[in-house]
């Protein structure tokens, strides 16, 4: 089984002071590639360092909406450099978060700036959307995201919103919440999403799947996400792993076959 964890914060140094034990367990669980997205300056630099050290780790770089208020002109200038790194596969995670109180106009400016950058360098975006469903769809549409595509990470919207995102060329990534006992919308989305747009992730150290809910999450648990979605879609876990592997390689422009020495 070849699993692709499309979103793991191994760059969170409080959760992962040493990444090696988590990488070893991920490898044992069948995880073969991991994308580590940045969210602020330090985490972007850490994601780049991890991608340079580990052949099977790739980075995304960007400024998260919760950090938008502290982003400087220098940060944005540096981001333009970081995105050109050959192990940077996406711009992210970026987006809108209306749960916390970062001013919405500031979030919007930082989001639009980064989608425009993604278009210039022709790399996909990794989108964080919390309680901002209508605005994120509208702004991604206005910024022409369809030209680069990307990922709705840990998608929490409805089936209707999912269709709007697919029309914008986006992939839908599901994580731990699809396994929760009381999950409704993520399960409906898991059932309905087009086979060629489905991805899996952990968002570790957050959002651990059942039966680890509420505890620290790690890439090995992406297998539990794959198993649950396989059950919902009526396919085997192996088949689900294959489908999501192929989709992840496609969205990040990576070869489906592992390179020499590309192991966790
Ligand atoms: Ni994240």
Kindly report the CATH number assigned to the domain that includes residue 120.
3.20.20.140
Distance 7 CA to ligand 1 centre (A): 6
**206 part of a folded domain:** yes
**260 part of a folded domain:** no
| C-alpha to C-alpha distance for 93 and 114, rounded to whole angstroms | 10
> What average pLDDT does range 169-177 have in this prediction?
98
**257 part of a folded domain:** no
Distance 222 CA to ligand 1 centre (A): 14
8 Å CB contact between 132 and 97 = yes
Q: 3-state DSSP call for residue 60?
A: strand
**112 part of a folded domain:** yes
- Boundaries of domain holding 44: 3-251
Distance 203 CA to ligand 1 centre (A): 5
**259 part of a folded domain:** no
- Strand 125-130 to strand 57-61: parallel, antiparallel, or no bridges (unpaired)? unpaired
Distance 37 CA to ligand 1 centre (A): 7
Non-local (6+) Cβ contacts of 75 within 8 A are 41, 63
Distance 93 CA to ligand 1 centre (A): 6
| C-alpha to C-alpha distance for 97 and 111, rounded to whole angstroms | 11
Distance 8 CA to ligand 1 centre (A): 7
What is the tens place of the pLDDT at every residue in 175-223?
999 999 999 999 999 999 999 999 999 999 999 999 999 999 999 999 9
111 falls in which pLDDT band (50, 70, 90)?
very high
8 Å CB contact between 8 and 204 = yes
What is the tens place of the pLDDT at every residue in 120-156?
999 999 999 999 999 999 999 999 999 999 999 999 9
Distance 86 CA to ligand 1 centre (A): 21
Q: What is the average pLDDT score of the chain?
A: 98
Distance 153 CA to ligand 1 centre (A): 7
**264 part of a folded domain:** no
> What average pLDDT does range 33-59 have in this prediction?
98
Number of domains in the chain: 1
């Amino acid at each position: 089984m070849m699993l692709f964890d499309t979103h793991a914060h191994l760059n969170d140094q409080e959760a992962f002071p040493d990444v090696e034990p988590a990488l070893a367990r991920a490898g044992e669980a069948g995880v073969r590639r991991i994308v580590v997205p940045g969210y602020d300056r330090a985490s972007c630099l850490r994601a780049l360092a991890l991608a340079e050290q580990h052949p099977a780790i790739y980075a995304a770089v960007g400024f998260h909406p919760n950090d938008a208020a502290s982003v400087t002109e220098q940060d944005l200038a540096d981001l333009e450099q970081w995105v050109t790194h050959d192990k940077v596969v996406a711009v992210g995670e970026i987006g809108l978060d209306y749960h916390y109180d970062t001013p919405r106009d500031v979030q919007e400016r930082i989001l639009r700036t980064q989608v425009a950058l993604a278009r210039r360098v022709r790399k996909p975006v990794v989108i964080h959307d919390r309680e901002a469903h209508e605005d994120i769809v509208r702004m991604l549409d206005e910024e022409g995201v369809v030209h680069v595509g990307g990922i709705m990470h840990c998608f929490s919207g409805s089936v209707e919103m999912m269709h709007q995102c697919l029309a914008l060329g986006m992939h839908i990534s599901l994580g731990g919440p699809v396994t929760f006992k009381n999950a409704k919308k993520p399960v409906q989305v898991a059932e309905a999403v087009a086979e060629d747009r489905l991805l899996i992730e952990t968002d570790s150290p957050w959002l651990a799947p059942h039966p680890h809910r509420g505890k620290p999450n790690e890439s090995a648990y992406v297998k539990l996400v794959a198993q649950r979605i396989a059950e919902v879609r009526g396919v085997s876990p192996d088949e689900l792993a294959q489908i999501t592997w192929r989709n992840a390689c496609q969205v990040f422009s990576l070869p489906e076959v592992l390179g020499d020495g590309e192991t966790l």
